[in-house]
Amino acid sequence: MSYIRFFAMIITASIVMYAVMYLNSYALDHVFYSQTRMWMTFLMVSTMAVIMLGFMLNMYTNRKANIAIVLGAIVVFGGSLALVRSQSTVDDVSYMRAMIPHHSIALLTSERAQISDPRVRELADEIIAAQEKEIAEMKALIADLEAGSSTPAASENR
């Protein structure tokens, strides 16, 4: 079995996993590129590469290549975990681009959950109002920052 096919599976799985992470967004305009989700994709894919290789070891018999794949996966896993945990690559705009899809999940869950207790419904409605306000504020801040504005226009609405 060709190792090219193995790496094609890994690359395809990476793209699909990253995209699938956005399926629980409430609205399409809440989908933004997220560095954190990218690092999480690498974290999952590096784990999956070792598992897939283990299950298909009889098809991939080059010992040196297999060791290289496992070692590479360990390096990618460690680097991705460090990036996810440290958030060292995340700046102002990156932070908000990651938080909008995160807040969108809260909107989806709060609106569509089968809530029967009025206290829980009240809490869910408060969460909806807060998340909608914060998403709008983050979008405004992103626009300001990308336009090069140093005026905190969106924070004046707080």
User: Max alpha carbon distance in the chain (Å)?
Assistant: 62
For residue 152, what pLDDT band results from cuts at 50, 70 and 90?
A: low
Average pLDDT, the chain: 92
User: Is residue 110's pLDDT more than 70?
Assistant: yes
User: Is residue 87's pLDDT more than 80?
Assistant: yes
Residues 143, 97: contact at Cβ < 8 Å? no
For residue 151, what pLDDT band results from cuts at 50, 70 and 90?
A: low
Residues 6+ apart with CB under 8 A from 40: 21, 80, 84
Residues in the chain: 158
pLDDT tens digits, 27-86: 899 999 999 999 999 999 999 999 999 999 999 999 999 999 999 999 999 999 999 999
For the chain, percent of residues with pLDDT exceeding 70: 94
Residues 74, 46: contact at Cβ < 8 Å? yes
Predicted TM-score (pTM) above 0.85: no
C-alpha angle 3/36/138, rounded to 5°?
145
For the chain, percent of residues with pLDDT exceeding 90: 89
For residue 155, what pLDDT band results from cuts at 50, 70 and 90?
A: very low
For the residues 12-25, what does the mean pLDDT come to? 94
Residues 6+ apart with CB under 8 A from 122: none
**pLDDT for the residue numbered 149:** 72
